[in-house]
């Protein structure tokens, strides 16, 4: 039995938002794609500072990854 590759982190110390990221598969790199990429997800995240929960948005996540990598 193979154990999953996971990373856990605490996002908000006051609210204790614990997240676990699990790597299910590693794909071969494509030359025209910027990495890292998020390829799937599920659920909603709690709203910031008591706001409304927000649905998982893969396009927003990858846009933010691109911005971080540009700087």
pLDDT at 70 over 80: yes
Prediction pTM value: 0.57
Domain total in the chain: 1
| Domain residue limits at 30 | 5-70
- Residues 14, 5: Cα–Cα separation, whole Å: 27
Question: Could you read off the pLDDT of 3-16 as tens digits, one per residue?
Answer: 668 989 888 777 78
Please give the C-alpha separations between residue 36 and each of 8, 17, 22, 51, in angstroms, as whole numbers: 17, 23, 14, 28
Quick one: pLDDT band at residue 63, thresholds 50, 70, 90? very high
Residue 59's nearest CA partner among 43, 28, 44, 37 is: 37
Instruction: Provide the mean pLDDT of the chain.
Output: 82
């Amino acid at each position: 039995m193979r154990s999953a590759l996971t990373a856990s982190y605490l996002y908000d110390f006051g609210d204790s938002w614990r997240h676990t990221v699990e790597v299910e598969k590693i794909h071969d790199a494509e030359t025209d794609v910027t990495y890292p990429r998020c390829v799937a997800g599920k659920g909603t995240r709690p709203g910031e500072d008591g706001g409304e929960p927000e649905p998982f948005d893969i396009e927003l996540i990858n846009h933010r990854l691109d911005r971080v990598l540009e700087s």
